[in-house]
């Protein structure tokens, strides 16, 4: 039985599961799972094996680790993902670590962006005398911009 306004699980065609936090929910805590759509308010930690999508009216304050993240609403916190996409309606503030980053025109972004390097790329970087090596971050860009 599904309670209105609760977390909804819907089976995906590929056999995985997608969950949705509806727009009328205010959730605090830690969520682990596959794919998640946040349409309401969430504060806490999200650990997803798949994709996080925050809807245009959502407000999320979280530490997020996911395969892919799409931000359409308001976000504050930290994201670690393979790919990060900020839609034109996104308002994001925080620290973002991703291999691929897309910021669409109209998105508002304030924060630090780091691009992780793979272990093989880290070993290929020559040592520079007097500069300590970095094992996980290839470049750091601090940005405060409305794109």
- Which phi and psi angles does 3 have, rounded to 5°? -90, 130
pLDDT of residue 133: 45
Instruction: List all residues 6 or more positions away from 101 whose beta carbon is below 8 Å from its beta carbon.
Output: 83, 84, 85, 86, 113, 115
**How many distinct structural domains can be found in the chain?**
1
Per-residue pLDDT in tens (0 to 9) along the chain, 147 residues = 333 444 444 444 444 578 999 999 999 999 999 999 999 999 999 999 999 999 999 999 999 999 999 999 999 999 999 999 999 999 999 999 999 999 999 999 999 988 765 554 444 444 545 544 433 333 333 333 444
- Please check whether residue 102 lies inside any domain of the structure: yes
pLDDT of residue 16: 56
Contact 64, 52 (CB under 8 A): yes
pLDDT of residue 88: 97
Inside any domain, residue 11: no
Domain residues for the domain of 34 are 16-146
Is the residue at 46 inside a domain?
yes
Distance separating alpha carbons of residues 61 and 126, to the nearest angstrom: 38
Domain membership flag for residue 32:
yes
In a domain, 4, yes or no: no
Q: Report yes or no on 1 lying in a domain.
A: no
């Amino acid at each position: 039985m599904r309670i209105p306004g609760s977390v909804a699980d819907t089976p995906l065609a590929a056999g995985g599961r997608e969950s949705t936090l509806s727009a009328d929910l205010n959730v605090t805590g830690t969520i682990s799972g596959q794919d998640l759509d946040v349409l309401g308010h969430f504060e806490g930690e999200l650990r997803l094996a798949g994709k996080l999508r925050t809807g245009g009216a959502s407000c999320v304050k979280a530490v997020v680790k996911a395969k892919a993240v799409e931000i359409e609403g308001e976000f504050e916190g930290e994201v670690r993902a393979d790919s990060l996409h900020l839609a034109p309606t996104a308002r994001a503030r925080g620290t973002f670590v991703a291999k691929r980053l897309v910021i669409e025109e109209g998105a508002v972004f304030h924060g630090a962006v780091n691009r992780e390097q793979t272990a093989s790329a880290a070993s290929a970087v020559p040592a520079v005398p007097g500069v300590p090596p970095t094992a996980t971050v290839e470049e750091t860009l601090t940005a405060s911009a409305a794109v």
